[in-house]
Amino acid sequence: MSIDELEDMARRCRVEICRMTHRAQAGHPGGSLSEIDILSALYGRRLRVNPNEPNWPDRDRFILSKGHASPGMYALLAEMGFISHADLESYRVLGGVCQGHVDMKWCPGVDFSAGSLGMGLSFGMGCAIAARIEGSQRNAYVMLGDGELQEGSIWEAAMGAAHHELGNLKVFVDRNRIQNDDFCEVQMRMFDIPAKWSAFGWAVKEIDGHNMSEIVGAIEWMDTITDRPAVVVANTVKGKGVSFMENNPAFHGAAPSDEQLAQALSELGVTA
Amino acid sequence: MTRMAATRDGYGQALLDIADDDRVVVLEADLGKSTKSLHFRKAYPERTVSCGISEQNMLLVGAGLASSGFIPFASTFAIFTERAFEQMRNGVARPNLAVHLCGSHGGTHTGTDGSSAQSIEDLAIYRTLPNVVVMHPCDVVSTRELTKQLPALGGPSYMRTARNKTPVLYDGRESEIQIGKGITLRDGTDVAIIACGVLVSESLAAADALAAEGISASVVDMHTIKPLDGALVDSQAATCGAIVTAEDHSIIGGLGGAVAEHLMSTTPVPLERVGVPDRFGESGQADEMLELMGINARHIVAAAKRAILRKD
């Protein structure tokens, strides 16, 4: 997909994120909107996955560790054909494939049952070790939230992945600067995040997580790192693309009202 | 003289037994020398992952490996597995990934390291998790055999092993050992003692003492706490009319709790539970700990008499 096509796919996903959370009157639009450009680039340009065979053993793994941002991933899975657009209506509905947090037991194309922060990086480390033992070229990609970095187990995995020189482990940090209760800066300052990863032995790159060309470039850069794990710290805006959600802690875990949905869709170029 | 051996050695031997299955991988958290996974590490370093002193990470690395088709065996001290309980809950049990967790040095029997190392709640907490099989074998032979059966299980498990040596009961009897099936070691008619782990041999000693007083006691090795062999519990209740449970574990929620929950719905007979009272341990030798906690053969005998007295 071209940069233009990736950007338009991300825009369509933003529309679905707003519709899903509005329909459920629950969920996490803010972190879905901040991650969606990166997810679009990953799925559109890089991930070796097959919607017709979601459990293909030699597929790349994608692990959404910030599993509450599930609407973003579901929207992408529908775009890629893992699930139907009708399935998106099952978000947070009893028996639906789109569980509140992404779940490998419920939804095709989901490789990790998320929902508890700080777990996905360790899981991705296991997937990367599995690929190495098998002699496979597949990669494990992990999407972390920035607030999630406050979980100590993240740093257990950061240390472990560097120790084992897992060049097939690729991580994005969605640095949107907002967590559940407030700005990260208020809740728990994390100081220099790229320096922390670097100190743990990772290859580190910092980008604008909404600039599609930069994102694609970062994904290509990750492919050049083969002797150690790589992390891209993507500076993002929580709620990106919907003016009243942008940089607003209230929309970490709150759904838009009817009026707000109409405004959001209008801003995203949907004509009634 | 009865052969003595530590159940953790049975775990270590079993890992070598099943190593021909190239899906088997071993995860360590800096205690492989103690849990006995070190033998596998020496023979198969390419299938052994050092996770450092990071139990939470270890459980989920195992989950990632299991999701990729491997069969991970992760071990550390029983007490330190508890640090990763939520990883076991959300990352392993919930997606039903076949990670096999072994907690060695369980119970007060572990001895002089003191209360911080004496896990007395592991069986209870893992028993609450859907999909997880929970075991606490009593000797080196059954530990080895049960571990060898795990690759075919298809779901996660927790097994507690012990640090110190216990009498070997199953030499030549490997074929009797099966996950989920309790073993009747002695038939009796007055009271049934259902035990697990290091208290199985104490229960046999208790049955001897009871026999000397003319009391006929069954002894059951309930090596699998979950799923509980309810049919065997029921048949013992029907035959003996009184039951004693015995475990080196908190009186709350372990084998005694499991048997009590079961009996209340089927055959409510008098039940006396021998287990660690609602307290922590301290430093002491294994036999001293069993005496201090009130869970050795002498206490099992007393509990058996109480249970018999409560019969109608």
DSSP A106-140: TSTT--S---STT-HHHHHHHHHHHHHHHT----E
**Which among B26, B53, B56, B57 is the top mutation candidate for probing chain A, defined by the most A β-carbons within 10 Å of its own β-carbon?**
B57
CB of A154 less than 8 A from some CB of B: no
CB of A164 less than 8 A from some CB of B: yes
Q: Do A133 and B47 touch (CB under 8 A)?
A: yes
Q: Do B60 and A126 touch (CB under 8 A)?
A: yes
Round to whole Å and give the CA distance between B246 and B249.
Answer: 9
CATH of the domain at B132: 3.40.50.970
Whether residue A253 is predicted with pLDDT greater than 90 in this model: the reply is: yes
Residues of the domain holding B258: 183-309
**Are the CB atoms for A166 and A132 separated by under 8 Å?**
yes
pLDDT of residue A272: 62
pLDDT of residue A271: 77
Mean pLDDT of B288-299: 98
Kindly state whether residues B204 and B113 are assigned to the same domain: no
CATH of the domain at B285: 3.40.50.920
Kindly state whether residues B202 and B266 are assigned to the same domain: yes
**Tokens encoding B216:** 């006929």
Choosing among 3.40.50.20, 3.30.450.20, 3.40.50.300, 3.40.50.970, the CATH entry for A3-267 is 3.40.50.970
pLDDT of residue B66: 98
Kindly state whether residues B16 and B163 are assigned to the same domain: yes
User: Taking the CB of residue A122, how many other CB atoms lie within 10 A of it?
Assistant: 32
Using CB atoms and an 8 Å cut-off, which of residues 98-117 of chain A contact chain B? Answer: 103-105, 111-113, 115-116
CA distances from B171 to A47, A91, B59, B145, B177 (A): 53, 56, 33, 11, 11
To the nearest whole Å, the CA of B107 is away from the closest chain A CA by 27
Whether residue B312 is predicted with pLDDT greater than 90 in this model: the reply is: no
Chain A residues inside the 8 Å CB shell of B57: 122, 125, 153, 156-157, 160
Round to whole Å and give the CA distance between A112 and A92.
Answer: 17
Catalytic annotation present for B28: no
Spacing of C-alpha A92 from chain mean position: 18
Task: Determine, yes or no, domain membership for B205.
Answer: yes
Task: Determine, yes or no, domain membership for B9.
Answer: yes
Radius of gyration of chain B measured on its C-alpha atoms? 19
Chain A residues inside the 8 Å CB shell of B68: 57, 61, 126-127, 130-131, 134
Q: Is A49 helix (H, G, I), strand (E, B) or coil?
A: coil
**Tokens encoding B152:** 């075919």
pLDDT of residue B1: 75
Chain B residues inside the 8 Å CB shell of A115: 90
Q: Closest CB to B57: pick one of A103, A104, A153.
A: A153
**Are the CB atoms for B99 and B74 separated by under 8 Å?**
yes
Predicted TM-score of the model (pTM) = 0.96
> How is chain A split into domains, by residue range?
3-267
To the nearest whole Å, the CA of B81 is away from the closest chain A CA by 14
> What are B222-279's pLDDT values in tens digits?
999 999 999 999 999 999 999 999 999 999 999 999 999 999 999 899 999 999 999 9
Task: Determine, yes or no, domain membership for B176.
Answer: no
Task: Determine, yes or no, domain membership for B82.
Answer: yes
Task: Determine, yes or no, domain membership for B175.
Answer: no
Kindly state whether residues B64 and B8 are assigned to the same domain: yes
Q: Do B94 and A111 touch (CB under 8 A)?
A: no
- Count structural domains, chain B: 2
> What are A149-204's pLDDT values in tens digits?
999 999 999 999 999 999 999 999 999 999 999 999 999 999 999 999 999 999 99
CB of A67 less than 8 A from some CB of B: no
Mean pLDDT of A237-256: 97
Task: Determine, yes or no, domain membership for B135.
Answer: yes
Pairing of strands A203-208, B71-77: unpaired
Q: What is the ipTM of this complex?
A: 0.95
pLDDT of residue A57: 97
Round to whole Å and give the CA distance between B180 and B265.
Answer: 19
